[in-house]
Amino acid sequence: MLITNIGELSTNTRAGVLRDAAVLVEDGRIVWVGTAADTPFRADEVVDAGGRAVIPGFVDSHSHIVFGGDRAEEFEARMAGEKYAAGGIRSTVSATRDATDEELGARLRGFIDEMRAQGTTTVEIKSGYGLDVETEERLVRLAAEVTDEVTFLGAHVVPAEYADDPDGYVDLVTGPMLDACAPHARWIDVFCETGAFNVAQSRRVLEAGIARGLAPRVHAGQLGPGDGVRMAVDLGAASVDHGTYLTDDDVAALAASRTVLTLLPGVEFSTRQPYPDARRLIDAGVTVALACDTNPGSSFTSSMPFCIAVAVRDMGMTPGEALWAATAGGAAALRRDDIGIIAPGARADLVLLDATSHVHLSYRPGVPLVRSVWKDGVVV
C-alpha cells in the first residue's frame, strides 16, 4: 500500500517533517518513506492523502481500562469543590469485583474501539481495580487479550479488608498475587503516594516484580512531592507517571537517567490540580511522554488529541513537542523502538488527519480530526 500526496509527514526521525511525502507499507511494516515525486514503484493499493497531514499512531502508555461502574457522582462533587483523593479507587474495586469477565471484556473492547477512533494504535493497560488474587488475575488476563503492554498494578491502593494491615497486603501483592499475574504481564507498577503506598512498600513491590522478570514503572508525584521519583530512577523504571509535583532534585535525577516522565494532562484537568510545567522538564533534558490515564476516577478521557491540546495550551509544550511526546515519547516510556516513528522497519501504525498540519491537533481542540487509522498496515 502506498499513501501518497501527504501534505505534511511527521516522521519523529532525523528526517523531521516532510512535505509532499509518501509512505510505502508492506506486510504491516513501513518499507519506504520519501518525497511523493520520488516514489520509485507502483503499489497494489494507493491512498491519496489529498494534501493532508500524516502522523504516527498515538502510543498511549498509561491506562486503567478494565473496570466496572463509573464515578460520575464523584466527578460532579469534585467540580463543586471536593478534593481528589486515592481512596475513591475502592469504590471502583467493588464494582469491578462484582462484574463478570464478559462484562469487563465488552467494556474494555469498547474503550479500545473508542481509542482507535481517536488515533491510538498502542495502549498500555494496568490492572489495579481487583486488589485480590482472583480479580487481579482476571484483569491482567483480559488486558492481555487486547494488548502486549500489560501492567500488574496490584499495589494501586490498600483494599478495605487490609486497612489495618497494609504490610500484610504488600505480602499478598508480592507473593500469591504476583505469582498469578506475572505470566500475563510485562510491567509492574505501584501508586507511590500519600494514601496509597510509601516508598519502602513501593520498593518492595517493584523489586518483587523485577525478580519475576517484570519491568518497573511507577505512579509518583501526583498529589504532592515525595521520594517516589528518585526511587523509580534508582530502580531503572522505564517511566515515572504523573509528575505533577517534582522537586529540582527529581528533575535532575530524571534528566540524568533513561527514565521517561509521562505527563497525564487529563488528570490535572479532571481533578483541578495545577498543570505541571513541561517546559521546565524538556529544557532540563528530561524525556517527556503524554498519555491519557483513562480511568473512572482521575481522568476519564481516552483522547490523545485532547491531552495534546491541554499540554500545548497549559503546560508549555510546542505542538511539535506534544505530538512527539504522544507518539515517540510513549514508545520510549514502553521501551519500544518499533512504534511512534514513521521510518523503514517500523510498524505501519499511522494516522491520517483531516487537517493540513499536526498543529491543528491543539489549534482545533475538541474537533474530531482523525480521518483514517492504520494499525500494522490495516485500516481500523
Q: Which residues bind ligand NIG (CB under 6 A)?
A: 64, 88-89, 92, 191, 219, 222, 267, 293, 295-298
**Residue corresponding to grid cell 503499489:** 43
Contacted entry of Fe ion, ligand NIG, none for residue 63, CB cut-off 5 to 8 Å set by kind: none
When binding is defined by CB under 5 A, the residue of 136, 227, 250, 293 that contacts Fe ion is 293
In the complex, the smallest distance separating the C-beta of residue 222 from Fe ion, rounded to whole angstroms, is 8
Query: Is the Cβ of residue 56 or residue 154 nearer to ligand NIG in the bound state?
Result: 154
267 makes contact, choosing from Fe ion, ligand NIG, none, with CB < 5 to 8 Å by partner type, with ligand NIG
| Amino acid (one-letter) located at 9 | L
3-state helix, strand, coil in the chain (%, to 5): 40, 25, 40
As measured in angstroms, the least distance from the Cβ of 283 to ligand NIG is 26
Q: How far apart are the first and last CA of the chain?
A: 15
What is the nearest approach in angstroms of ligand NIG to the Cβ of residue 89? 4
d(CA 167, CA 172): 9
User: Per CB under 5 A, which region of 166-174, 270-278, 285-293, 345-353 contacts Fe ion?
Assistant: 285-293
What residues pair up with 197 in beta bridges, in sequence order?
Answer: 192
Q: Cβ closer to ligand NIG: 55 or 326?
A: 326
Which grid coordinates are listed for 76?
Answer: 460532579
Nearer residue to Fe ion within complex by CB, 224 or 345: 224
Distances (CA, A) of 345 to 16, 29, 70, 118, 339: 17, 6, 41, 24, 10
Minimum Å distance from CB 160 to Fe ion? 20
| Helix pair angle (101-117, 133-144), 10° resolution | 40
Report the residue closest to Fe ion, judged by CB.
293
**If contact means CB under 5 to 8 A according to the sort of partner, which of Fe ion, ligand NIG, none does residue 52 touch?**
none
Nearest distance from C-beta of residue 328 to ligand NIG, angstroms: 22
Of 91-99, 160-168, 287-295, 348-356, the segment contacting Fe ion by CB under 5 A is: 287-295
Q: Element (H or E) spanning 151, and its range?
A: strand 150-155
Shortest CB 114 distance to ligand NIG, Å: 18
Closest residue to bound ligand NIG by CB: 297
Compute the least distance from the CB of residue 40 to ligand NIG, in Å.
47
CB 5 within 8 A of CB 36: yes
CB 35 within 8 A of CB 21: yes
Kind and range of the H or E element at 309?
A: helix 304-314
**218 contacts which partner out of Fe ion, ligand NIG, none, CB within 5 to 8 A by kind?**
none
**What is the rounded CA–CA span in Å between residue 198 and residue 228?**
8
What is the grid cell recorded at 99?
Answer: 462484574
Q: Which residues bind Fe ion (CB under 5 A)?
A: 293
